[in-house]
């Protein structure tokens, strides 16, 4: 069979992911694999219409299409995202329709599920037969059982293709509502009280609702907010994946375009950041994706600690829970406070005005109070993956993270907690005695609540004094 591999790594052949593909090539010598380096070709593929058509023709002739990509900021690389957008923009979806497909990624398993969910949704939207995902930790290829699992994944894809097995879509089509948001003229602006507010958007002139929401929010801040449009920032290209930044957060693009200065001097010095974009397929635009990818010069260290972050999204966000999760998780992982996400999906113009005004008012109030809501599993789990990786296998490359994690107390392993370790050792022995275990179990509930009662009593006494 003729298998087209759509390579999502900006490193082309020098990609870890492509080593997994090479392994599959050797495991299935009876099939022909062709790697197309989509993300590496980036904007060239966009400019060169003939080259784009040649890629699409190869896909049209293929029996199988394999999406093979590294994880980039919880999704795929911005250039890969742009390629996906062009499939619809240039009306070539028919080349993908009814093809059997699957997704293969390499990563450190940090939000790998959101990337695969995205690709599965895209495959469903293209009318493809999606047979499954294989998410490899970068070094899995060195383990025999993982190689066997990889072969089993590919076997399922190839078998399904040969036998034309049924596959079921997982995602219903999106139904954006048709609604023109026209904000009211009247407004009672909030005073920014010395807090620096930046609205960052990729709004294009034809995106009326997004532009109106941004303008309304700008007015809600009494024009105390600066709006930056990503299209007006000189961004020479997407992340190269070169890891130049790992040692000291210096990006290979340093001094070559405006991205890093914008990030460091304008975004990182703001107190309140509002990000505004429109849904494009199952995510925001590729421009937004490139924004995230390029922020990787901060590597795995949060850059917006303690800031107030809000989102404005035009389009059917409630139908894309995957994107909602990404936005929420990213904000939490930055250790920022998520103010909320305002969309134009529900309610009339008055309701949307109200939501935007409230976003502005709360952002200033929380910025003054220094409010940051507790993280959930989204960030707590993610941080632990980073912590373990930077402590271990990533430390040599990501020295800057290692130093930052030491400084920020991210290395919170309980290694030196000798008291707990001694207690665990003792109770481990004692609880093997049934009589002691029975008494212990009968007192668990009481024992759990007791310290809280003590604390509340103490706080009450303090408050009364």
Ligand X SMILES: Cc1cc2nc3c(=O)[nH]c(=O)nc-3n(C[C@H](O)[C@H](O)[C@H](O)COP(=O)(O)O)c2cc1C
Indicate whether 37 belongs to the interface with ligand X (CB under 6 A): no
Question: Which of the stretches 54-62, 95-103, 107-115, 125-133 binds ligand X when contact is defined by CB under 6 A?
Answer: 107-115
Any idea what the Cα angle at residue 227 is, between residues 245 and 80, rounded to 5°?
45
Rounded least distance, CB 344 to ligand X, Å: 28
Q: Is 204 helix (H, G, I), strand (E, B) or coil?
A: coil
Question: Which of the stretches 14-22, 194-202, 255-263, 433-441 binds ligand X when contact is defined by CB under 6 A?
Answer: 14-22
Rounded least distance, CB 90 to ligand X, Å: 26
Size of interface with ligand X, in residues (CB under 6 A): 22
Block residue for tokens 């599920």? 113
Question: Which of the stretches 28-36, 69-77, 363-371, 373-381 binds ligand X when contact is defined by CB under 6 A?
Answer: 69-77
Q: Got the DSSP string for 100-157? A: EEEEEEEESSSSHHHHHHHHHHHHHHTT-EEEEEEEEETTGGGSHHHHHHHHHHHHHH
Indicate whether 106 belongs to the interface with ligand X (CB under 6 A): yes
Indicate whether 235 belongs to the interface with ligand X (CB under 6 A): no
Q: Among 3, 9, 102, 311, which residue sits at the site for ligand X (rule: CB under 6 A)?
A: 9
Q: Among 100, 253, 296, 405, which residue sits at the site for ligand X (rule: CB under 6 A)?
A: 296
Rounded least distance, CB 79 to ligand X, Å: 12
Nearer to ligand X, 9 or 201 (CB): 9
Q: Among 70, 183, 246, 310, which residue sits at the site for ligand X (rule: CB under 6 A)?
A: 70
- Which among 290, 286, 320, 314 is positioned nearest to 124, based on CA atoms? 320
Q: Which residues within the stretch 114-143 sit at the binding site for ligand X (CB under 6 A)? A: 138
Residues 272, 362 contacting (CB under 8 angstroms) = no
- The rounded distance, in Å, linking the Cα atoms of 121 and 133 is 12
Indicate whether 395 belongs to the interface with ligand X (CB under 6 A): no
- The rounded distance, in Å, linking the Cα atoms of 341 and 129 is 33
Rounded least distance, CB 229 to ligand X, Å: 23
Indicate whether 110 belongs to the interface with ligand X (CB under 6 A): yes
Q: Are strands 2-7 and 64-70 parallel, antiparallel or unpaired?
A: parallel
Q: Greatest CA separation found in the chain?
A: 82
Indicate whether 293 belongs to the interface with ligand X (CB under 6 A): yes
Other residues' Cβ atoms within 10 Å of the Cβ of residue 140? 17
Nearer to ligand X, 15 or 192 (CB): 15
Question: Residue 242's beta-bridge partner residues?
Answer: none
Q: Among 55, 66, 108, 333, which residue sits at the site for ligand X (rule: CB under 6 A)?
A: 108
Indicate whether 315 belongs to the interface with ligand X (CB under 6 A): no
Residues 233, 259 contacting (CB under 8 angstroms) = yes
Indicate whether 11 belongs to the interface with ligand X (CB under 6 A): yes
Cβ burial of 334 (10 Å; 0-12, 13-18, 19+) is: buried
Rounded least distance, CB 138 to ligand X, Å: 4
Within 236-358, strands assigned E span 272-278, 308-314, 337-343
Question: Which of the stretches 67-75, 93-101, 166-174, 343-351 binds ligand X when contact is defined by CB under 6 A?
Answer: 67-75
Nearer to ligand X, 74 or 260 (CB): 74
Indicate whether 15 belongs to the interface with ligand X (CB under 6 A): yes
Block residue for tokens 């509340």? 456
Rounded least distance, CB 104 to ligand X, Å: 10
Nearer to ligand X, 120 or 314 (CB): 120
CA 386 to chain centre: 14
Please give the residue ranges that form the binding site for ligand X (CB under 6 A).
9, 11, 15-17, 70-74, 106-112, 138, 239, 241, 293, 296
């Amino acid at each position: 069979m003729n298998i087209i591999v759509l390579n999502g790594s900006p490193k082309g052949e020098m990609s870890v992911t492509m080593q997994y593909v090479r392994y599959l090539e050797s495991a299935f010598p009876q099939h022909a694999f062709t790697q197309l380096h989509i993300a590496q070709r980036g904007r060239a593929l966009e400019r060169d219409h003939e080259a784009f058509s040649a890629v699409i023709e190869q896909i049209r002739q293929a029996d199988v299409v394999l999406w093979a990509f590294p994880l980039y900021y919880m999704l795929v690389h911005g250039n890969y995202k742009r390629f996906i957008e062009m499939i619809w923009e240039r009306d070539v979806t028919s080349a993908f329709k009814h093809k059997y497909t699957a997704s293969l990624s390499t990563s450190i398993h940090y939000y790998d599920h959101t990337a695969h969910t995205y690709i599965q949704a895209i495959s469903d939207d293209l009318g493809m037969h999606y047979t499954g995902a294989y998410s490899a930790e970068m070094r899995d290829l060195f383990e025999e059982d993982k190689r066997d699992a990889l072969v089993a994944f590919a076997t399922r894809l190839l078998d399904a293709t040969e036998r034309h097995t049924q596959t079921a879509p997982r995602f219903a089509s999106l139904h954006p509502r048709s609604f023109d948001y026209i904000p009211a003229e009247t407004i009672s602006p909030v005073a920014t009280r010395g807090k620096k507010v930046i609205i960052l958007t990729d709004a294009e002139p034809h995106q009326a609702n997004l532009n109106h929401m941004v303008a309304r929010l700008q007015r809600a801040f009494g024009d105390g907010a600066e709006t930056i449009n990503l299209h007006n920032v000189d961004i020479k290209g997407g992340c190269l994946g070169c890891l130049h930044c790992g040692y000291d957060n210096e990006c290979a693009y340093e001094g070559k375009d405006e991205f890093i200065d914008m990030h460091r001097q304008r975004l990182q010095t703001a107190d309140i950041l509002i990000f505004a974009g429109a849904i494009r397929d199952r995510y925001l635009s590729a421009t937004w994706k490139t924004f995230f990818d390029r922020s990787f010069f901060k590597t795995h260290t949060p850059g917006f600690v303690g800031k107030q972050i809000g989102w404005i999204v035009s389009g059917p966000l409630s139908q894309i829970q995957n994107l909602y999760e990404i936005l929420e998780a990213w904000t939490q992982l930055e250790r920022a406070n998520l103010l909320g996400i305002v969309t134009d999906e529900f309610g009339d113009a008055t309701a949307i005005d109200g939501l935007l005004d409230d976003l502005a008012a709360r952002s200033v109030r929380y910025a003054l109070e220094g409010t940051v809501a507790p993280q959930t599993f989204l960030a707590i789990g993610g941080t632990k993956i980073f912590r373990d990786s930077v402590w271990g296998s990533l430390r040599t490359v990501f020295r800057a993270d290692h130093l930052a994690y030491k400084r920020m107390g991210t290395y919170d392993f309980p290694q030196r907690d000798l008291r707990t370790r001694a207690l665990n050792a003792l109770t481990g022995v004692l609880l093997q005695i049934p009589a002691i275990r029975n008494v212990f179990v009968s007192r668990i509930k009481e024992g759990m609540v007791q310290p809280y009662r003590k604390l509340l009593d103490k706080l009450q006494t303090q408050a009364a004094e």
